[in-house]
């Protein structure tokens, strides 16, 4: 916002001159469009709902005063932003509209009065209204033809959305077939994520070092708009049905009856809902839901009132972007102002440095808040948050409290810009931020206490050192009592603890036998293959496959380590050699060299090398079999084994298993219901085998 628009913004709509109003409408159009883009296309809202609604209301108020100034690009002509790219566009048969908002009780009374006036109802005429929770997710239209789900689309700009059929097909809440549906049926509703599922999803993302979703709505939007439906399938998304689009025959004569119809087809409904007889009952409902809000498993941002009789809904129709027969009664955004006492840096398990605001405790929506997330360093800079500032705190969807903005006029004199640390506050290692990433990370790896436990767990895990008897709990306990601080300590544990075995044995959950078993399984792992060893170090981005590539390429630990140290200088041959390895790119190379650039990691490695023997990588001897060296593709459902098993078997016989058929394919093994791959094989003249023929060939 420029200084000029800021001062214009302070003038009430009724006081603006025509010229000022025109300038303000232009500014509002641009600003709202930017927020829409952030919300709809990037799933990353830049303002709170309340701020956004305030902008829209201001826009509408000015337009009401100066109808002739209404712009072609006015936000009141649009519902949201145009669809993001990547999905096919879908034109909605019936536009997907939005809802007008009510904030105060009077707005609701006014809504009811407007409806009565519009329909010329008499005082004694009953006007029933359905009240239901307003779910904070994203709306979606499901199209059924002949009772089969044929298309699912997001709202997009209300006229045109995105085709998310493949993704919606993975939602358990969405019936794929409906026995007694009208020939054409469009069910509309909200895709959402339960709060508990959202928290779990974010925990998993934090473990993997992936950016976190700000709230369940963003998580739902981000999960639905995945280009790979397999990703959507793994996300815990739900769907509530509450409305409809095109229909070949009506679903009932009241909103309430349609709800029941949807329920009978297996849709989940927004609950608890209520059929209200008058405004008082509507407002009572609003209050009750407001009190239950925290206990509901999903986030809601208000309630929706809908005129129950559908013949009346038809008569009421729409104004610009919203129906006259419905309105959203929003909850006030839970915000409060307080003083920012300090900014502390938390180091996550993957080494991510997260700034946390330490606040003068303040009650926000009934909960005392004394800490809030500041997300990352860009966020601090963007909002220009300084220690000593008075800040606006918000509990977004009742989840993690956030700092929305600073109150600039209350900034104390001398408050200085916050400088984000470039050293890890836990272990003093360098904290680096790769270009293009939002997160700064500690490079301390194994020596950083914040990361150490997680790294140790990884170190002993099945695909790494595979030390039986050292589970999560034991690692945590050993770390806390100082017995195991870094990997090498595991191998010196017995020697150090032998005399004090009694102490160990007396710990809950430890008997003499389990201690002896532990010593045995540790001993058994003193010799390890290079690829496992590399993987065990827990270097970022180095999974099993990459570890194997590295082991195969460098053969010995010494050669690999030497090369990684040299490769820190990107002008060396070592760097060129590293990045020339198939599937190792610049970003993986950086993580590798960063690990070795850290003195602490070298020490950890040296100590570990004193304890264990790392075997040079030996390429598996080529297997002699009828299929060794052949490329095989499996397609369709196999009867005698699962696909992964078939793949493993083929590989153990020296065959290469590919995912798609080309002229280089030797055999295509065709199971039941095979599709295009079998056809392609025939077209290319590649030998196709039945499962039985394949088994006969490999002699199994
Ligand atoms: S009815 C023609 N009912 O709120 C209007 N919408 O702000 C049909 N929403 O686009 C919408 N819960 O995404 C309706 N119980 C509910 C709702 C609901 C959430 C969303 C929906 C809509 C937006 C409008």
Whose CA is closest to 185, among 271, 108, 261, 294?
261
| Residue 694 confidence (pLDDT) | 92
Q: For residues 297, 302, 307 and 313, what is the CA-based torsion angle, rounded to 10 degrees?
A: -100
Query: 288-297, pLDDT tens digit by residue?
Result: 999 888 788 8
- Cis status of the peptide bond prior to 355, with omega within 30 of 0: no
Query: 405-422, pLDDT tens digit by residue?
Result: 899 899 999 999 999 999
pLDDT average, residue stretch 420-432: 93
258 or 583: which leads in pLDDT: 258
| Residue 559 confidence (pLDDT) | 95
Query: 76-124, pLDDT tens digit by residue?
Result: 766 544 444 578 889 999 999 889 989 899 999 999 999 999 999 999 9
C-alpha 51/C-alpha 396 separation (Å) is 13
Chain center to CA of 40: 15
pLDDT(465) > 90: yes
| Residue 42 confidence (pLDDT) | 62
pLDDT average, residue stretch 138-163: 93
| Residue 506 confidence (pLDDT) | 61
* Range among 268-277, 460-469, 583-592, 644-653 rated most confident: 268-277
- The proportion of the chain whose per-residue pLDDT surpasses 70, expressed as a percent, equals 92
Query: 619-675, pLDDT tens digit by residue?
Result: 766 678 889 888 999 998 888 877 777 887 787 788 888 888 888 899 999 988 888
Task: Kindly report which listed range (82-96, 118-132, 332-346) carries the lowest average pLDDT score.
Answer: 82-96
Angle separating helix axes 18-36 and 49-65, nearest 10 degrees: 150
| Residue 82 confidence (pLDDT) | 43
pLDDT(249) > 50: yes
- The proportion of the chain whose per-residue pLDDT surpasses 90, expressed as a percent, equals 45
15, 89, 134, 200: which one is catalytic? 134
| Residue 204 confidence (pLDDT) | 85
| Residue 640 confidence (pLDDT) | 80
Secondary structure E strands in 396-525: 401-406, 431-432, 441-442
565 or 674: which leads in pLDDT: 565
C-alpha 676/C-alpha 661 separation (Å) is 10
pLDDT average, residue stretch 59-79: 78
| Residue 167 confidence (pLDDT) | 93
Q: Which atom of ligand 1 is the closest one to the Cα of 97? A: 2
- Cis status of the peptide bond prior to 272, with omega within 30 of 0: yes
The response to whether residue 135 sits with its C-beta less than 6 Å from ligand 1 reads yes
pLDDT(211) > 80: no
The response to whether residue 221 sits with its C-beta less than 6 Å from ligand 1 reads no
655 or 306: which leads in pLDDT: 306
Residue nearest atom 10 in ligand 1 by C-alpha distance: 98
Identify the DSSP state of 230.
Answer: H
pLDDT average, residue stretch 604-617: 94
282 or 296: which leads in pLDDT: 282
- Average predicted confidence (pLDDT) for the chain: 87
The response to whether residue 156 sits with its C-beta less than 6 Å from ligand 1 reads no
Which residues are registered as beta bridge partners of 363?
Answer: 368
How big is the chain, counted in residues?
Answer: 700
C-alpha 40/C-alpha 98 separation (Å) is 14
Give the number of other CB atoms < 10 A from CB of residue 403.
23
| Residue 331 confidence (pLDDT) | 85
Domains with residue ranges and CATH for the chain: 89-330 (3.30.470.30), 529-615 (1.10.150.20), 631-698 (3.40.50.10190)
Whose CA is closest to 494, among 471, 516, 527?
516
The response to whether residue 139 sits with its C-beta less than 6 Å from ligand 1 reads yes
* Range among 442-456, 562-576, 676-690 rated most confident: 562-576
pLDDT(551) > 60: yes
How would residue 614 be classed by pLDDT, with cut points 50, 70 and 90? very high
Ligand 1 pocket: which of 99, 187, 274, 286 to mutate (most atoms within 8 A of CB): 99
Query: Structure tokens of 268?
Result: 């989940």
C-alpha 153/C-alpha 512 separation (Å) is 62
85 C-alpha to center of ligand 1: Å?
24
How would residue 5 be classed by pLDDT, with cut points 50, 70 and 90? low
Q: Is 647 a catalytic residue?
A: no
Q: What percent of the residues of the chain are helix, what percent strand, and what percent coil, each to the nearest 5?
A: 40, 20, 35
The response to whether residue 134 sits with its C-beta less than 6 Å from ligand 1 reads yes
130 C-alpha to center of ligand 1: Å?
13
Which residues are registered as beta bridge partners of 672?
Answer: 637
pLDDT(365) > 80: no
Query: 584-601, pLDDT tens digit by residue?
Result: 888 899 989 999 998 888
How would residue 507 be classed by pLDDT, with cut points 50, 70 and 90? low
| Residue 398 confidence (pLDDT) | 44
Query: Structure tokens of 408?
Result: 């600039």
Residue nearest atom 16 in ligand 1 by C-alpha distance: 134
The response to whether residue 130 sits with its C-beta less than 6 Å from ligand 1 reads no
pLDDT average, residue stretch 48-53: 71
123 or 368: which leads in pLDDT: 123
Judge contact between 135 and 273, C-beta under 8 A. no
Angle separating helix axes 573-580 and 586-597, nearest 10 degrees: 130
């Amino acid at each position: 916002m420029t200084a000029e628009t800021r001062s214009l913004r302070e003038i009430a709509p009724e006081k603006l001159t025509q010229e000022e109003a025109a300038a303000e409408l232009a500014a509002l159009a641009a600003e709202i469009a930017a927020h829409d883009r952030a919300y709809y296309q990037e799933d990353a809202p830049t303002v709170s709902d309340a701020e956004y609604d305030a902008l829209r209301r201001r826009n509408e108020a000015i337009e009401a005063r100066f109808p002739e100034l209404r712009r072609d690009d006015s936000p009141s002509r649009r519902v949201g932003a145009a669809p993001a790219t990547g999905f096919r566009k879908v034109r909605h048969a019936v536009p997907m509209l939005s809802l007008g908002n009510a904030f105060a009780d009077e707005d609701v009374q006014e809504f009811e009065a407007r409806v009565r006036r519009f329909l010329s109802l008499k005082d004694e005429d009953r006007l029933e209204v359905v009240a239901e929770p307003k779910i904070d997710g994203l709306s979606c239209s499901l199209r059924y033809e002949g009772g089969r789900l044929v298309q699912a689309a997001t709202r997009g700009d209300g006229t045109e959305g995105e085709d998310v059929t493949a993704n919606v097909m993975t939602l358990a809440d969405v019936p794929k077939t409906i026995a007694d549906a009208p020939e054409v049926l469009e069910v509309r509703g909200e895709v959402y994520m339960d709060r508990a599922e959202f928290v779990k999803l974010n925990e998993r993302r934090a473990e993997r070092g992936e950016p976190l979703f700000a709230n369940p709505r963003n998580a739902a939007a981000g999960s639905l708009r995945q280009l790979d439906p397999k990703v959507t399938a793994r996300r815990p998304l739900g769907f509530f049905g509450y409305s409809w689009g095109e229909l070949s025959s009506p679903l009932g004569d009241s909103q309430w009856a349609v709800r029941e119809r949807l329920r009978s087809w297996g849709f989940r409904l927004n609950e608890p809902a209520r059929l209200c007889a008058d405004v008082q009952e509507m407002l009572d409902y609003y209050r009750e839901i407001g009190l239950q809000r925290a206990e509901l498993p999903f986030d809601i941002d208000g309630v929706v009132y809908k005129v129950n009789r559908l013949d009346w809904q038809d008569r009421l129709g729409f104004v610009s972007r919203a129906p006259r027969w419905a309105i959203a009664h929003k909850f006030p955004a839970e915000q409060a102002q307080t003083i920012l006492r300090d900014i502390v840096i938390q180091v996550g398990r993957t080494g991510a440095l997260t700034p946390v605001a330490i606040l003068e405790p303040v009650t926000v929506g009934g909960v005392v808040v004394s800490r809030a997330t500041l997300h990352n360093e860009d966020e601090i800079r963007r909002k220009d948050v300084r220690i000593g500032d008075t800040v606006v705190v918000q509990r977004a969807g009742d989840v993690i409290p956030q700092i929305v903005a600073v109150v600039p006029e209350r900034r104390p004199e001398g408050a200085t810009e916050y400088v984000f640390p470039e050293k890890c506050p836990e272990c003093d290692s360098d904290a680096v931020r790769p270009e293009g990433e939002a997160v700064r990370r500690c490079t301390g790896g194994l020596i950083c206490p914040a990361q150490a436990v997680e790294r140790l767990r990884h170190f002993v895990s099945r695909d790494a050192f595979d030390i039986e008897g050292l589970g999560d709990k034991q690692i945590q306990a050993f770390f806390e009592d100082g017995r195991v601080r870094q990997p090498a300590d595991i191998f010196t544990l017995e020697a150090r603890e032998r005399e004090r075995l009694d102490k160990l044995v007396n710990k809950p959950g430890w008997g003499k036998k389990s201690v002896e078993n532990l010593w045995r399984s540790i001993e058994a792992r003193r010799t390890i293959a290079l690829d496992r060893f590399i993987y065990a170090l827990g270097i970022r981005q180095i999974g099993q496959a990459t570890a194997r590539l590295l082991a195969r390429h460098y053969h010995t630990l010494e050669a690999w380590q030497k090369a990684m140290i040299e490769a820190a200088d990107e002008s060396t041959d070592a760097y060129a050699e590293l990045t020339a390895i198939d599937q190792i790119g610049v970003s993986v190379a950086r993580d590798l060299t960063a690990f070795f650039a850290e003195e602490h990691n070298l020490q950890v490695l040296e100590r570990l090398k004193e304890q264990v023997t790392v075997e040079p990588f030996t390429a598996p001897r080529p297997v002699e079999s009828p299929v060794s060296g052949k490329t095989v593709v499996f397609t369709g459902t196999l009867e005698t084994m699962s696909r992964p098993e078939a793949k493993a078997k083929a590989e153990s016989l020296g065959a290469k298993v590919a995912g798609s058929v080309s002229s280089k394919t030797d055999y295509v093994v065709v199971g039941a219901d095979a599709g295009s791959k079998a056809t392609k094989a025939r077209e290319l003249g590649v030998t196709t085998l039945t499962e039985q023929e394949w088994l006969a060939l490999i002699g199994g």
